Structure 1
Amino acid sequence: MIIGLLHPGAMGSAVGAQLVAAGHQCGWVPEGRGSATRRRAAEAGLTALTKLDELASCDVVVSVCPPAAALDVARQVARIGFTGCYVDANAISPRHSEGIAAVLDGATVVDGGIVGPPPRKPDTTRLYLSGPGDAVTRVHDLFRHTTLTPVVLPGPVGAASALKLAYATYNKVSIVLAAQAHALARQHGVDAQLRELAAATLPGTPFADPERLVSAGQRAWRWAPEMREIAETCRDAGLPADLLDAAEAFLTHWRQHKDDPDLTLDQLLGALTGVRGQAAQPDT
């Protein structure tokens, strides 16, 4: 099967590599992309396309991009007249998922939610799918023999996104809370004691092993918009969104560490000092 992938970031390239390993031709559009993206695409075995219009002939297009770009990417695909199966696998609200389905009214849209790290090992990452039954089955079969485990959900477009964001609410906000706790302990000189206490009471968590928090700092530029999507989803459901608004503002303190491979825990926690109660402004 011929599949288009937009765009091969850290997660997208790993998803593409699994499709290639399963025997599918997976194309992407290098135009406007940087050297890091080109390197990831080459390593994943993706086929470079000359222009976006070539995606119109693909059987399936998979979108894996930052949440803020998801709707714009869908509009670009709609403009080329794509009529195949479009899988939106981004961390967006159910309302935005429904909006993407409306934009791509000539295609069949499947809602996807990726939970876990880039899928390089079995049993680490799931792809939840919802939407029209035949299309969902088709996408499920694409990934059936890969390390990205497909899971079909009952329900329309929006159900997979809702599950993804509900999971991220706990998973990512708990990491933010762990960073806040370690930064506070550090400021009062009891960080070693907090590490020992956390290791004794909550072993195996980022709270007990704060070095694991570093990857959150590297990805904060993507996590902050995701918190915004969760906050929107909570408001749509009549739930308070204060915690998610705060998490978004918190993550903006780390935006200067975007994808920094040399980031240390000291730098991460140091970025939180001197704030004096004034919240950073969320990215817009």
Structure 2
Amino acid sequence: MEPIGVLHPGAMGAAVGGELVAAGHAVYWVTADRGANTYRRSQAAGLRPLATLDELASTCAVILSICPPAAASSVASAVAATGFDGIFVDANAIAPSRAREIATILPTVDGGIVGPPPGGPGRTILYLSGTGAGDLTALFTGTRVETRVLDGEVGKASALKLAFAAYNKISCALAAQSYALAASYGVQNDLETLAGSTLPGTPLDGPSALSGVAERAWRWAPEMQEIATAAAESGLDPGIAEAAAALFARWDVFKDDSNVPLERLLDELR
């Protein structure tokens, strides 16, 4: 089994790492500059600690980068500085152009994760593109991470991830804005009733789900900026993604807090 490194195991990274551990792989992470929550997640997932990135690079044949979008380039640069000569998988929500930039500093397989952390409700799909993408699918045999290889170069998987997130997450921003607007005029309950009867199963149906969005908004705001970049580079107006980024940024204060009352979430948007 291949030794695999995960940088840096947040909720998604730890869950993906745990799946690889369950499949029989030795999975490592770097403890330097990581907090207590990361340590607990990694320990619970069965990941093995190493003190430095140099140790990880010399131990592992594959390194998965699963981190907030803003950190993707710095993580890749740090890995490149170690002289790592294995397979680097950038599985972050970044613009295709940034994925291609990363591929210029070390051999990279482009990845895009769609869905929740494995083990939760819904499917977790890892899209892969670029040279060597097909070689990675065997690593996930027996896990709850489904891999799909896309034809083409680095950037394809990132593009698909962002295109999906543009609809999936901006629709949540629209629902939040709609409920804040309705609350301002005293028709919030009426909007919820209307949405339940005409748009069941959408983000507008059931505003209580917005608490789950708010706790992840600190990651979603920079992801919206990546979508805006990708849109602009393809000749599309980036405005809708930039507006969603601004909305999610207002919820930064609720990082990892799923118990914020809806009224407070809506107040933060005014």
Report the TM-score, using the length of structure 2 for normalisation.
0.97
Alignment: residue pair count: 268
* Counterpart among 81, 84, 94 of residue 83 in structure 2: 81
Distance (whole Å) between structure 2 residues aligned to residue 261 and residue 121 of structure 1: 16
Q: In the TM superposition, what are the counterparts of 1:116-155 in structure 2 within 5 Å?
A: 116-121=115-120, 124-132=123-131, 135-155=132-152
Distance (whole Å) between structure 2 residues aligned to residue 270 and residue 223 of structure 1: 19
Deviation by residue 1:233-269 (Cα, 9 ceiling, x = unmatched): 0111111111111111111111111111432222211
* Counterpart among 194, 208, 212 of residue 209 in structure 2: 212
Distance (whole Å) between structure 2 residues aligned to residue 205 and residue 179 of structure 1: 12
- Give 2:4's aligned residue: 3
- Give 1:91's aligned residue: 93
Structure 1 residue 121, shift from structure 2 partner: 4.6
Q: In the TM superposition, what are the counterparts of 1:174-213 in structure 2 within 5 Å?
A: 174-213=171-210
- Give 1:60's aligned residue: 62
Deviation by residue 1:146-172 (Cα, 9 ceiling, x = unmatched): 111101111100000000000011001
- Residues 118, 125 of structure 1: 8 Å contact kept: yes
- Residues 211, 258 of structure 2: 8 Å contact kept: no
Distance (whole Å) between structure 1 residues aligned to residue 126 and residue 120 of structure 2: 14
- Residues 68, 225 of structure 1: 8 Å contact kept: yes
- Give 1:282's aligned residue: none
- Residues 126, 146 of structure 2: 8 Å contact kept: yes
Structure 1 residue ranges without an equivalent (≥5): 274-284
What is the identity, as a one-letter code, of the residue corresponding to 1:215?
G
RMSD (Å) for aligned C-alpha atoms: 1.1
- Give 1:165's aligned residue: 162
Distance (whole Å) between structure 2 residues aligned to residue 123 and residue 202 of structure 1: 20
- Give 2:44's aligned residue: 43
Structure 2 residue ranges without an equivalent (≥5): none
Structure 1 residue 54, shift from structure 2 partner: 1.2
Structure 1 residue 197, shift from structure 2 partner: 0.5
Structure 1 residue 123, shift from structure 2 partner: 5.5
- Residues 199, 208 of structure 1: 8 Å contact kept: yes
* Counterpart among 225, 241, 244 of residue 241 in structure 2: 244
Q: State the SS of the aligned residue for 2:85.
A: coil
- Give 2:105's aligned residue: 103
- Give 1:23's aligned residue: 24
Deviation by residue 1:47-85 (Cα, 9 ceiling, x = unmatched): 000211112231100000000000000011011110000
**1:271 pairs with 2:265:** no
Q: 1:27 to 1:149 in 2, by over 3 A?
A: same
- Give 2:250's aligned residue: 253
Distance (whole Å) between structure 2 residues aligned to residue 176 and residue 79 of structure 1: 38
Structure 1 residue 16, shift from structure 2 partner: 0.5
Q: State the SS of the aligned residue for 2:63.
A: strand
Distance (whole Å) between structure 2 residues aligned to residue 183 and residue 122 of structure 1: 28
Q: State the SS of the aligned residue for 1:62.
A: strand
Q: Which consecutive segments of 4 or more residues in structure 1 shift more than 6 A?
A: none
Distance (whole Å) between structure 2 residues aligned to residue 207 and residue 195 of structure 1: 7
Structure 1 residue 122, shift from structure 2 partner: 7.9
- Residues 117, 125 of structure 1: 8 Å contact kept: yes
